[in-house]
Amino acid sequence: MERAETSPSLKARDYKSGLKPVWCPGCGDFSVLQAVTKALAELALAPEDVALVSGIGCSSRLPAYLDVYGFHAVHGRALPVATGLKISRPELTVLAAGGDGDGFSIGGNHFMHACRRNVDMTYIVMDNQVYGMTKGQASPTTDPEWDKSKLTPDGTQISAYYPLVIALASGANFIARASSSDPNGAAKVIVDAIRHPGFSFVHMLSPCVTFRPEQRLWKKSVHPAPVAATKDPAVAARRLMTDDNFYLGTLYEGSRKPYQPELIASVDLPSELEAGFLL
């Protein structure tokens, strides 16, 4: 991850592409975009040295709104693409982003193994406890009693998935929660996540104001964690037992060695890359 921080003059807005987001007015993802650009400016990263890979969903539309190298991949597959990119181009700062459906339903297995593999990158999941893009179905993080989708008129009645618990159990090296209601705090968490070696997971609370309008109140429910991050996974696990899902800040900073296989071949020019596809 040790990348030259070379662009001191760039402001947060310089990392935006200028494309107007399609999100609903009030969607939490606007503030996440804000937080990511603030973090990149704080780290003074050259935009060309940053790559953002996403899956599919409202939240996964993030890459086109940033002026970095972006890849809008297939549903649930942001992490394998980002993993491949990072291990073949370790000098890049690689970010992956997406939603709770993308990352924990269809991409759930990738999430677990990305934590375990511990490649040096940062994964931001914008959790709104719903499939926003497909008009409001329950996701793994949805409360079992939530009955506002026609698909689950009595709620899912299946207990919710706890991303931080899974991340810790699977071996993520950095685990934090942030909220779109506090873009500055979220930016700080993203900075720390990017700086920390290995797989960093940022659980980003980001309301879907259209299908979960009650989430507008999340900004009143969130509160900073009363204790500093721990380096001890056992302590982190105990803290998670009393987590109310609204504690913000960094929970865990591990010291596992990131996975980075030895590079076998590299391509410097696009023409060399294209040549590989010729018959």
Partner 1 sequence: MTLPGMPGGQYTADGLEHNPLGNPSSRAEDHSAQLEKRKRKLEQFEYGDHWASIEGSGETAVITWGSSCGPVREALALMAAEGIPTRLVAIRLLLPIQPERLASALKGVKRVLVVEQSHGAQFHLYLRAHYDLPGEVKSLAIPGPLMIRPDAVYHRLTHWEES
Ligand X SMILES: Cc1ncc(C[n+]2csc(CCOP(=O)(O)OP(=O)(O)O)c2C)c(N)n1
Q: What is the largest CA-CA distance in the chain?
A: 61
Pick the closer one to ligand X by CB: 90 or 108: 108
Interface with ligand SF4, residue 210, by CB under 6 A: yes
Q: How near is the Cβ of 63 to Mg ion at its closest, in Å?
A: 17
Q: How far lies 78's CA from each of 52, 91, 256, in Å?
A: 9, 19, 23
Give the pairing of strands 247-253 and 174-179: antiparallel
Interface with partner 1, residue 89, by CB under 8 A: yes
Q: How near is the Cβ of 132 to ligand X at its closest, in Å?
A: 3
Interface with ligand SF4, residue 208, by CB under 6 A: yes
- CA 158 to chain CA centroid, Å, is 24
Separation CA 188–CA 39 (nearest Å): 7
The listed partner (partner 1, ligand SF4, Mg ion, none) that binds 211, CB under 5 to 8 Å by sort, is ligand SF4
Pick the closer one to ligand SF4 by CB: 51 or 124: 124
Which region, judged by CB under 6 A, interacts with ligand SF4, from 24-32, 70-78, 181-189, 214-222? 24-32
Alpha carbons within 13 angstroms on the beta-carbon side of residue 24 total 15
- Cα angle 60-62-66, degrees, rounded to a multiple of 5: 155
Separation CA 144–CA 104 (nearest Å): 16
Q: What is the CA radius of gyration of the chain?
A: 18
Q: How near is the Cβ of 75 to partner 1 at its closest, in Å?
A: 9
Interface with partner 1, residue 91, by CB under 8 A: yes
| 163-169-175-177 Cα dihedral, nearest 10 degrees | 30
The listed partner (Mg ion, ligand X, ligand SF4, none) that binds 27, CB under 5 to 8 Å by sort, is ligand SF4
Interface with ligand SF4, residue 27, by CB under 6 A: yes
Site string for partner 1, 196-215 (x = CB under 8 A): --------------------
Count of beta carbons in the 10 Å neighbourhood of residue 220: 9
The listed partner (Mg ion, ligand SF4, ligand X, none) that binds 134, CB under 5 to 8 Å by sort, is ligand X
Please, are residues 184 and 176 in contact by the beta-carbon 8 Å criterion? Answer: no
Selected from 55, 101, 132, 183, the binder of ligand SF4 by CB under 6 A is 132
3-state secondary structure of 274: helix
| Of the candidates 105, 104, 97, 100, the residue with the CA atom closest to the CA atom of residue 65 | 97
Pick the closer one to Mg ion by CB: 76 or 132: 132
Selected from 109, 263, 274, 275, the binder of partner 1 by CB under 8 A is 274
Q: What secondary structure letter does DSSP report for 137? A: B
Q: How near is the Cβ of 96 to partner 1 at its closest, in Å?
A: 14
Which region, judged by CB under 8 A, interacts with partner 1, from 55-63, 122-130, 135-143, 214-222? 55-63
- Residues engaged in binding ligand SF4 (CB under 6 A): 23-24, 27, 29, 58, 128, 132-133, 208-211
